Structure 1
Amino acid sequence: MKVGTTPARSGLLSLLLLVACNAGTRTGGVSSPATAGGAAPQGATSTPATTAPPETPPRAEFDPVAQGLTVEGVKQLCDEHLRAAEGYLDAIRALRGAPPEKLTYAATLGRFDDATLEVNSAGEFPYLMGVAHPDAAVREAARLCEPKVDRFTTAMWLDADLAAVIGAYAERGDAREALSGERARLLSDVLRDFRRNGLSLPVDRQQRLRDVNEQITRIGQEFMSNLSASTASIEIAPASLQGLPKEYVAKHAPKANGKVEITTDYPDFFPFVTYAKDRKAALALYVLFTNRGGEKNVKLIDRLLALRSEKAKMLGYKSWADYAIEPRMARTSGAVRGFLDQVRTALKEPAKAEFAALMKEHVRLGGKPTDKLPPSDRYYLEDRVRASTYQFDSQALSDYLELGAVKQGLMDITAKMYALEYKEVPAKAWHPDVTAYEVRSEGKLIGKFYLDLYSRPDKYKHAAMFTVRTAKLLDDGSWQSPVAALECNFPKPGAQPALMSHEDVVTFFHEFGHVLHHLLTRSELASYSGTATVRDFVEAPSQMFEEWAWSREVLDLFAKHHATGEKIPDALFQAMTRARGFGRALATQRQLTLASIDLELHTRDPGFDATVVVEQAQRANESFAFVKGTHLQSSFGHLITYDAGYYGYQWALSLSRDVLTRFKQEGLLNPAVARAFRDEVLAKGGGVEAGALVTRFLGRPPSHDAYLAYLQGKE
């Protein structure tokens, strides 16, 4: 994570797809493994791991998990590493006015990257504990770190002495050094980010910028806290559970008043809106789900948008969107609009046909052709069409997707692809349900990850990868290995088998793709380690990996009936494959709505009604009716963590479909292709321009053609 971002928050920013659930995109899971942990699979090791980092020598290794599980520990973790970062910056400042031969890479940019590592170390694990620790006191203590990190980074980018030394090195540093690769990129990015963070402003405007940055951080924390704590519910008669899976019904027994409670938490919400025959109840739940965060968050967003607009104008940009998009692949808001227009045009006819099929099913089920379908009916009608038109029974498929088997299959597959070994080790983590795995390549330890799979009160509501420790080649030549955590919200198993929907499996593959991106890094610099790449590229490797969950070859490795051990029947797999494309256009329209909302809110001058913008965006992009009384901005967490960047999901998805063309041609499980992807893409992190990564892997420049064809069902 680059120091230029807020490291305490960027652990979440790089995670991403599943946070889209915040905005009403379906990604939540409803099942979990029968047992926590279990035997760890042994991966293939026959392919030489040419990019394996050196083994970390025996020493006192930094372990944020061991330190940061208590109130006092998480405070110390944050403060100690910020002090260490300040020490590195002090050493750089001391070089102001020094002769050129003193201005070496190690003394300037090298120390700057050391400071980056310390800032990341200060903020990464506290951010996770702020949303995942079961103890409210620890969560509150952990959340105190983010404003400290923000103040630190704001002051750093406004530090004239620091900038003067880096600038002097750029102009007249040690002539014996010639920077290339990541180091040259770091110099360019640091000089750019001093400009982008207000160093050239007069002193009084710099102070205002500090104030604005602190307010932006506080508002973001309050918004996300409100959202995490927001669980609304409806009470229904037991008969309204008709259509739900038997496992779901068994877990929702009537209360003393004879009613069944259904909450807006993911394991409750998504199955209910997908399968419940009581569509009035589904709509009522949808309204509550969309309005999570409530009026408090509506007001917070208005204030946040005003502050971001003020900051952008202060720094010389027309809008926050123009400011935020500048360092990304797209570069300009105009390029983003042009891309979204291409996608919108490609979707026009497919979406019209899909919506007509949904309306036909709606009428067949007793509705009127003049009815205006609300968004809450999309999943339900799509599932019915898949069953009636494609003979695909999504609930029947779940019998073959027990989460424990899926987890082991996922690790077996990635071990074979990337020449890895996984070994379960004692977790000693923030909750007894958390498990931990060490990852080795060619026998050498390269990283570690934690799995926190089960839903529980006051836990992060979605599914995402969090960075726990950033990798870096240290000054003594040793390697600080990366650590990640995967947060999910599957129900904890009980009397019923832990069965996943296929969408849950796709979700698991996606998020594990982020884990691999973080763990397989070979970047020497903390600034570009793992997922510390531009935001409109970071999703591409994980979105690409979703395709493995659709492959018969891959599914046959782990998808077995939980009772009989049989593989998925041919007829069921073929029905799933035929039904796959149906709903793609409407789902992508939803993503266009979210991207448009994000872009419009961050483009307009303050003073507008955000709810009107939300309604306008939905009407312009979607086939479904806007539901009056909903305020999507109150629950759209990406407005905090992905500001003016939600388009990146579509942008990265386009890249992922392009990259996938080589895998499809040469084999999804082809170890040579996987090794090339590991070496040319995953290992590079953000140290190489994203377009160049794709070009190296494909042997040609990236193109949107594969994605546009995919949206139109042409491939």
Structure 2
Amino acid sequence: MSPQPLALPADDWSDWLAGYVTDRLETVAETLALLADGNARDTADVLGLWNDADIALRGADSAAGLFVEVHPDAAVRRRGEELVQQVDRVRTERDLDRALYDVVAATDPAGLDEQAARMREHVLRDFRRGGVDRDEQTRARLRVIAERLTVLEQDFGRAIRDDVRAIRLAPDRLAGLPDDFVAAHPPAEDGLVAVTTDYPDYRPFRAYARDAEARRSLTIEFESRGWPVNDAVLHEMFDLRHEKARLVGYDSWPDYDAAVKMVGTGEAITEFIERISAAAAAAGRRDLDAVLARRRADDPAGTVDRSDIGYYTELIRREQFDVDARQVRRYFDFTRVRAGLLEVTGRLFGLEYRPVDVPRWHPEVTVYDVYAAGERRGRIYLDLHPRDGKYKHAAQFDLVSGVTDRLLPEGVLVCNFSRGLMEHQDVVTLFHEFGHLIHHVLGGRQEWVRFSGVATEWDFVEAPSQMLEEWAWDAAILGMFAVDETGAAIPADLVARMRAAKDFGKGIAIQTQVGYTAVSYLLHRDRPADHTGAVSDAMARYGVLPALPGTHFQTSFGHLAGYTSAYYTYLWSLVIAKDLFSAFDPADLLDPAVAQRYRDLILAPGGSRNAADLITTFLGRPTTFDAFATWLNRAPIPQPAR
């Protein structure tokens, strides 16, 4: 019998979640006890038992971690946090159990196939990185650190989720915003309009609001979420990560974290930051000079800060490239975009999405079973609109990790988009995040759950999703679903202008990402006493513009919990993504031959091979910097007004 999707409850979510997680943790305990019972077993049986326990542990972790971020009931979220702590304690105990390590280390790798041998190597590596070979006093301290870090990371994320801020304005200060935005923000009884730091408010406001003071006020609120509570959380978090790295034999947390990534070492991150910064310097200066010139056309004595970049970038695109994003959004009704995304990716990867009516945690969540050649390959949940207590960014979460003939992969896309008209940039984001979801499903046929789905080195994880963004810029692709209120498809010449306009601002965008990368890395490496000052210095040096006075960007920089010191991943992956895209024909992005070859060679293997090997197999050569450099150095070409 083929595996069936997980049955979620119609109600009593708290009890269901607790029971689901507890059952799996009991399976973990029973399976690991069996593994360490002293009976002789061959290598295949040892690894098989380890895999059984890992399947149960990952299932518990995925469910608890997901519903902490998305469930609308605060009590369920709190229950989920308690369960995540239990899961992490079990994982820590497993990884510090010397008896278990001895069982795995004593196995004979001779005769194992490539995947089983890789599995064995990864398990032993994880044991050593966990500190299993240290003395009992050190292992005891590592247990304390692991448990405390789990709590700190939860505190950090919760503070960001719950800290939704707002500015209140007279209605005339919405000048420049699209009509549907204004209509969705009627004045309250006191005559003022509230604009929040949630993305459907924040992004359009920064891009279109003519009121510079209001833009600045909202930016300050957005970049201070989580302050001041998260400042102390980050200090303790960074100190404990550093201590853990030192206890298991590394000089710093970045060295520890990088050792299992493509980059290899913390020092290599420094070198990459400098290389990307140098590569983007000319494009960033060109963009910033253009923004400053346009700003001074309004005010000869004017200066530019971070709250101005989005507005003046859009203004230049409107005036010099004939692209008004406020008009472009007419073509991107959310419901049509979602349907178009499924049609495009279905054709691209040979998939069919069949809607299913099953229990889910919120009425706005949509659910689809994913089929290939008539066979069900997984299930996806799309949770795409903001609400109180929900994760504030955009990400793909695992619900179930796929295992061949045992478990169907199930993933959840969590975003915060408008329910009506979308910004085109949000369409790009949707394609990006859906790339992770497809990777999870297509990579979910693995014997070893350790390699299921998006299980490659973490600095390759973003590359497939960044590459899929290209489809959101193609006229033929957009013509499949982007229509205005009259039913007219988005004109090809408008898409051509949009593509020309996106070349403007990319230098600033890349340098801003370099700034965030430096923040992520340097806060972990140096652990400065003054985080806010260090962030401002890093952004001034690498990110084009310093942080705004009065802001505390780091306290709402959620990636400091997940990506830790490795935010460089986004730029590292982007270099690879540009190279991967060079294998496609830009004139026919739905060519099934290259798309399905990419599906089979890059996505389907999951983490069963090193990322560098996947890339070389697909491209026929190792990856290079060339395609990225060509794209970055391509100067924007202004378009004449029609």
State the 1:366 CA deviation: 2.5
Contact kept? 1:64, 1:77, Cα under 8 Å: no
Q: Secondary structure at the match of 1:509?
A: helix
Supply the AA of the counterpart residue of 1:537: F
Supply the AA of the counterpart residue of 2:354: K
State the 1:423 CA deviation: 0.7
Match of 2:269 among 308, 315, 336: 336
State the 1:310 CA deviation: 0.9
Q: Are 1:659 and 2:580 an aligned pair?
A: yes
Supply the AA of the counterpart residue of 2:413: L
State the 1:427 CA deviation: 3.0
Aligned pairs for 1:307-346 (under 5 A) are: 307-346=240-279
Q: Which has the higher contact order (CA 8 A, sep 6+)?
A: 1
Q: Secondary structure at the match of 2:186?
A: coil
State the 1:625 CA deviation: 3.8
Partners of 1:403 and 1:575 in 2: CA distance: 22
Partners of 1:670 and 1:572 in 2: CA distance: 23
State the 1:365 CA deviation: 2.0
Q: Are 1:91 and 2:34 an aligned pair?
A: yes
Q: Are 1:421 and 2:421 an aligned pair?
A: no
Partners of 1:692 and 1:69 in 2: CA distance: 46
State the 1:204 CA deviation: 1.0
Contact kept? 2:334, 2:418, Cα under 8 Å: no
Partners of 1:571 and 1:583 in 2: CA distance: 20
1:453 is matched with 384
Q: Secondary structure at the match of 1:455?
A: coil
Partners of 1:490 and 1:367 in 2: CA distance: 37
Aligned pairs for 1:526-565 (under 5 A) are: 526-561=449-484, 563-565=485-487
1:19 is matched with none
Match of 2:442 among 506, 520, 544: 520
2:48 is matched with 110
Match of 2:91 among 143, 146, 153: 153
User: TM-score under structure 2 normalisation?
Assistant: 0.96
Q: Are 1:483 and 2:410 an aligned pair?
A: yes
Deviations 1:288-331 (A, max 9, x none): 11110111101110111111111111111111000001000111
Partners of 1:383 and 1:589 in 2: CA distance: 18
User: TM-score under structure 1 normalisation?
Assistant: 0.87
**1:68/1:671 CA distance change after superposition, 3 Å:** farther
Partners of 1:534 and 1:456 in 2: CA distance: 32
Partners of 2:166 and 2:350 in 1: CA distance: 46
Contact kept? 2:396, 2:437, Cα under 8 Å: yes
Contact kept? 1:427, 1:434, Cα under 8 Å: no
Supply the AA of the counterpart residue of 2:250: Y
Q: Secondary structure at the match of 1:399?
A: helix
2:235 is matched with 302
1:56 is matched with 2
Aligned pairs for 1:264-275 (under 5 A) are: 264-275=197-208
Partners of 1:275 and 1:628 in 2: CA distance: 22
Deviations 1:232-290 (A, max 9, x none): 11111111100001011001111111111111111111111111111111111111111
* Runs of 4+ in structure 1 over 4 Å off: none
Partners of 2:256 and 2:12 in 1: CA distance: 37
1:239 is matched with 172
Match of 1:217 among 117, 137, 150: 150
Q: Are 1:642 and 2:563 an aligned pair?
A: yes
Contact kept? 2:461, 2:573, Cα under 8 Å: yes
Partners of 2:393 and 2:426 in 1: CA distance: 12
State the 1:379 CA deviation: 0.5
Partners of 1:488 and 1:625 in 2: CA distance: 28
Match of 1:351 among 280, 284, 307: 284
State the 1:230 CA deviation: 0.2
**1:347/1:459 CA distance change after superposition, 3 Å:** same
Partners of 2:93 and 2:372 in 1: CA distance: 40
**1:489/1:211 CA distance change after superposition, 3 Å:** same
Partners of 1:410 and 1:672 in 2: CA distance: 20
Q: Secondary structure at the match of 1:484?
A: strand
Contact kept? 1:343, 1:708, Cα under 8 Å: no
State the 1:499 CA deviation: 1.4
Partners of 1:143 and 1:355 in 2: CA distance: 43
Partners of 2:547 and 2:360 in 1: CA distance: 44
Match of 1:385 among 291, 304, 316: 316
Q: Are 1:166 and 2:104 an aligned pair?
A: yes
Identity %: 36
Contact kept? 1:453, 1:486, Cα under 8 Å: yes
2:489 is matched with 567
2:626 is matched with 705
Partners of 2:570 and 2:10 in 1: CA distance: 35
2:22 is matched with 79
Contact kept? 1:67, 1:74, Cα under 8 Å: no
Structure 2 gaps of 5+ residues are: 637-642
Contact kept? 1:523, 1:683, Cα under 8 Å: no
Partners of 1:268 and 1:196 in 2: CA distance: 43
Q: Are 1:601 and 2:534 an aligned pair?
A: no
Supply the AA of the counterpart residue of 2:573: A
Q: Secondary structure at the match of 2:377?
A: strand
1:136 is matched with 74
2:639 is matched with none
**1:650/1:68 CA distance change after superposition, 3 Å:** farther
Partners of 1:700 and 1:142 in 2: CA distance: 45
Partners of 2:541 and 2:12 in 1: CA distance: 47
State the 1:339 CA deviation: 1.8
Q: Are 1:400 and 2:331 an aligned pair?
A: yes
Q: Secondary structure at the match of 2:456?
A: coil
1:70 is matched with 13
Partners of 2:539 and 2:322 in 1: CA distance: 31
Supply the AA of the counterpart residue of 2:403: K
Contact kept? 1:181, 1:687, Cα under 8 Å: no
2:512 is matched with 590
State the 1:610 CA deviation: 1.5
Supply the AA of the counterpart residue of 2:63: F
Q: Are 1:674 and 2:592 an aligned pair?
A: no
1:615 is matched with 536
Contact kept? 2:403, 2:447, Cα under 8 Å: yes
Partners of 1:418 and 1:531 in 2: CA distance: 17
Contact kept? 2:96, 2:127, Cα under 8 Å: yes
Deviations 1:335-374 (A, max 9, x none): 2222222211111111111111101110112352xx4311
Q: Are 1:259 and 2:259 an aligned pair?
A: no
2:640 is matched with none
Q: Secondary structure at the match of 1:436?
A: strand
Partners of 1:188 and 1:330 in 2: CA distance: 19
State the 1:64 CA deviation: 5.6
- Computed over aligned residues only, the root mean square deviation of the Cα atoms, in angstroms, reads 1.6
Q: Secondary structure at the match of 1:686?
A: coil
Supply the AA of the counterpart residue of 1:533: T
State the 1:391 CA deviation: 1.1
Partners of 1:506 and 1:535 in 2: CA distance: 21
Q: Are 1:189 and 2:127 an aligned pair?
A: no
State the 1:574 CA deviation: 2.5
**1:649/1:385 CA distance change after superposition, 3 Å:** same
Match of 2:545 among 615, 620, 624: 624
Partners of 2:534 and 2:29 in 1: CA distance: 43
Structure 1 gaps of 5+ residues are: 1-54, 493-497
